[in-house]
Amino acid sequence: SFDEQINSIILPQLRSLCRSYIGSVDPSLPVFPPQRVYDRDRRSWERISSDAGCFVLCYNDLGPQNIFVCPVTFQIVGIIDWKFAGRC
């Protein structure tokens, strides 16, 4: 089922994309917060690091309108609209 694919494939893949910091792979580049945060707070953001754990990739808009499904197999084949994605 669709929910089963989300819970057993998509969400574990997103959770596996973790790292110990929030920011660009190039530490000299600035950090850009999600647009909804940046709209309210336009200050420069420092890179955020953690020795205690990792930050995972959060999609933040995972709904049917952003998921492509094969009409024959009903398998999820793509996810679009990553504008709200970020580390959390």
What are residue 57's DSSP bridge partners?
A: 87
Q: What is the pLDDT of residue 78?
A: 95
* CA–CA distance, 49 with 52 (Å, rounded to integer): 9
**For every residue of 4-61, which 3-state class applies, written as one string?**
HHHHHHHHHHHHHCEECEECCCCCCCCECCCHHHHCCCCCCECCEECCCCCEEEECCC
pTM: 0.67
CB distance 33 to 45 below 8 Å: yes
Per-residue pLDDT tens digits of the chain, which is 88 residues long? 889 999 999 999 988 988 888 877 787 887 877 777 889 988 878 888 888 878 888 888 888 999 999 999 999 999 999 887 877 7
Residue 82, both tokens: 């990553």
CA neighbours closer than 13 Å in the CB half-sphere of residue 65: 4
